[in-house]
Structure 1
């Protein structure tokens, strides 16, 4: 197992695709000095088509290295709970993109939220300086692992075992906050813990990440979508419900729609726009002999299915208390009428009363409410993702 060769190969792949950001040249040097294998456990996990199976460094070193360095777009699963991934080393390209979005400078005080194995915290400390980064991890075993690895590289990162959604570290406000797990609501705790003018980079609804800047009065934070990527969910959020059974009922509707459902499967810009406009819609896509098939549900009991038929048409079936298929079609038409905007044109604003998504302009552009307020009245639900400027 030649890890140096694999590191160099991934470095070159990122260089060839332009993934090393010109604005943050320090990142390439930091990744070289603190490669991800220093923070990887002995067991990684690979999906074999049916389940996640362990890849042991001691018995399969090449397979283990492939999980880490096979692609700049692939995370390395480091923990599986209940048959599903519960922690990972994020894809190297995503980590670099998020740290670039953070606009991190030497001397900044940084809160690393959801520390995992400690790699993000190490890279941030390389830039900010020893003793300038505090990392919070809710899982005691992960926190202990990160604490050990970070002590080895000697950057003075403090690792706390705590719930970062509700509990900020002591010691005053931070210049930068970066999170490694996806939140449906941005915790107001993060805004309060960041100084006015400070920056918060976090995954938004498992689709991508957004960079927020805290207003000078500290009463809101706003910013654009900066990158795409899937992330682990906040462990405090409910697990998305399984698709409800599509039982026939008296209120069910079947109709022929003059749309090909293929874009719901293939067009990531459209899929992103749907998640903004219908944030509780969960889509699953596939193909049959006629073309694309799409199922949608709302996490409760309402469902819809889109099935391609001849002539670029679709059979739409839907049932339950709401017509979620119609909501998807309406949002699809709205996206087209707005000029098919890319995810980077969207943004998020968070206040003490809730949050909303917007297009192009947080003040005068199109807005989408983001669901009911959180139980404490602070924050709401929005999902997002993809590159912005």
Structure 2
């Protein structure tokens, strides 16, 4: 049976693994202290959800506390799902390593005023409040049930945090008072301009960018733009108020392609194997062709790939076993040519890694760039799953 002592032991184990793997931010020792002061388990609901290979199954603390604790402390890079909607995760306690990295990126100082967006169960708001002080954190949560739960847990932890129920994507900071920092915990493709307006000049916005990773923006001194670099990689829950992303998987590709014959066919000399596991390449393709959904598989001839846009355009790269592939395409656009060109451009740029990219946001536009704000750039738009 895993009781209170067991929880204390798992907290110590989490701390030790974070230290061993270099996950505690060296420049922000307060993060480690905050994890110890307001531990993850105090913000976990009595029911968690585990993927069993076919569906999410419940893990109730009262029925099997050991399994519940194992799920909550599964690993420093593992999130714990705390809520489902229509059978899919809609809220979670984020992976400890990611939480630590994002808090480090915020550069929080005592006295800062923080807008925590996407309260969930309240853990990240609690960690920020521990750092900045009582009454300095306001948090927004679109789900009324989650907001109520967070209020209770924050109060039980002795932390003074205002939790407002509402859609932060479509509105400004609760109370209208400017903040020094924004910490968003759900993914958006484009930064709402209201977020930039809510932050004082020189302040920071740390947020998950689509399914790519998290970014730290600094608001310009004139308040008319914000820019910054990719800080880390992780996937987050999507904005509930945004349109649903295009479905992935071979069934979705088949639905887009239908039974039509290809419009074009060409032979390429290209090794497709990097598409399987070169995540710097995958990142670059996602930036350059943001609505492309990519699938790969391997057979006796090598790696094959399929691409579609969730609408009507598709492409298939078929390996021939001799180092060449045949590219078939159909639909109103040549999405395979777009992906191939983006791949070649990435190679021309010297195969930059994911941390060589950043974002600039203005009232009228926002774009991703590589190497610096004046380097190669790509417009940002709402996109599907990659």
**Both structures adopt the same fold (TM-score exceeding 0.5):** yes
Q: Give the secondary structure class of the aligned counterpart of 1:127.
A: helix
Q: Is the alpha carbon distance of 1:222 and 1:50 closer, same or farther for their aligned partners in structure 2, counting shifts above 3 Å?
A: same
Q: Give the secondary structure class of the aligned counterpart of 1:7.
A: helix
Choose 289-298 or 47-56, whichever is displaced more. 289-298
Which residue number corresponds to residue 268 of structure 2?
Answer: 257
Q: 2:223 aligned with 1:218, yes or no?
A: yes
Q: Give the secondary structure class of the aligned counterpart of 2:322.
A: helix
Q: Is the alpha carbon distance of 1:320 and 1:43 closer, same or farther for their aligned partners in structure 2, counting shifts above 3 Å?
A: same
Which residue number corresponds to residue 233 of structure 1?
Answer: 238
2: CA distance, partners of 1:289 / 1:133: 56
2: CA distance, partners of 1:228 / 1:136: 24
Choose 325-334 or 299-308, whichever is displaced more. 299-308
Which residue number corresponds to residue 326 of structure 1?
Answer: 337
2: CA distance, partners of 1:169 / 1:287: 51
CA contact (8 A) 2:228 2:359 kept: yes
Q: Give the secondary structure class of the aligned counterpart of 1:181.
A: coil
Q: Is the alpha carbon distance of 1:55 and 1:163 closer, same or farther for their aligned partners in structure 2, counting shifts above 3 Å?
A: same
CA positional deviation for 1:292: 2.9
Aligned partner (choices 6, 9, 12) of residue 5 of structure 1 = 9
CA contact (8 A) 1:207 1:231 kept: no
* Runs of 5+ consecutive residues of structure 2 not aligned to the other structure: none
Question: Number of aligned pairs?
Answer: 375
CA positional deviation for 1:289: 4.1
* CA deviation profile, 1:3-23 (whole Å, cap 9, x unmatched): 111111121111111110111
TM-score when scaled to structure 2?
0.93
Which residue number corresponds to residue 91 of structure 1?
Answer: 95
CA positional deviation for 1:171: 4.0
CA contact (8 A) 2:14 2:76 kept: yes
* CA deviation profile, 1:280-307 (whole Å, cap 9, x unmatched): 1122333344443332211211112233
Q: Give the secondary structure class of the aligned counterpart of 1:312.
A: coil
Which residue number corresponds to residue 367 of structure 1?
Answer: 377
Q: Give the secondary structure class of the aligned counterpart of 1:311.
A: coil
Q: Give the secondary structure class of the aligned counterpart of 1:142.
A: helix
1: CA distance, partners of 2:343 / 2:220: 33
CA positional deviation for 1:253: 2.8
Choose 115-124 or 64-73, whichever is displaced more. 64-73
Aligned partner (choices 258, 267, 277) of residue 278 of structure 2 = 267
Q: 2:79 aligned with 1:69, yes or no?
A: no
Aligned partner (choices 312, 316, 325) of residue 314 of structure 1 = 325
Q: 2:28 aligned with 1:24, yes or no?
A: yes
Which residue number corresponds to residue 298 of structure 2?
Answer: 287
TM-score when scaled to structure 1?
0.93
Which residue number corresponds to residue 376 of structure 1?
Answer: none
Which residue number corresponds to residue 42 of structure 2?
Answer: 38
Which residue number corresponds to residue 123 of structure 1?
Answer: 127
2: CA distance, partners of 1:180 / 1:170: 20
2: CA distance, partners of 1:54 / 1:291: 39
Superposed, which structure 2 residues align to 1:336-347 within 5 Å?
336-347=347-358
Q: Is the alpha carbon distance of 1:8 and 1:287 closer, same or farther for their aligned partners in structure 2, counting shifts above 3 Å?
A: farther
1: CA distance, partners of 2:224 / 2:22: 37
2: CA distance, partners of 1:241 / 1:15: 39
RMSD: 1.8
1: CA distance, partners of 2:265 / 2:258: 13
Q: Is the alpha carbon distance of 1:382 and 1:195 closer, same or farther for their aligned partners in structure 2, counting shifts above 3 Å?
A: farther
* CA deviation profile, 1:330-379 (whole Å, cap 9, x unmatched): 000000000000111100000000101111121x21111224xxxxxxxx
CA contact (8 A) 1:275 1:384 kept: no
Q: Is the alpha carbon distance of 1:384 and 1:223 closer, same or farther for their aligned partners in structure 2, counting shifts above 3 Å?
A: farther
Q: Give the secondary structure class of the aligned counterpart of 2:194.
A: helix
Q: Give the secondary structure class of the aligned counterpart of 1:310.
A: coil
Which residue number corresponds to residue 188 of structure 1?
Answer: 193
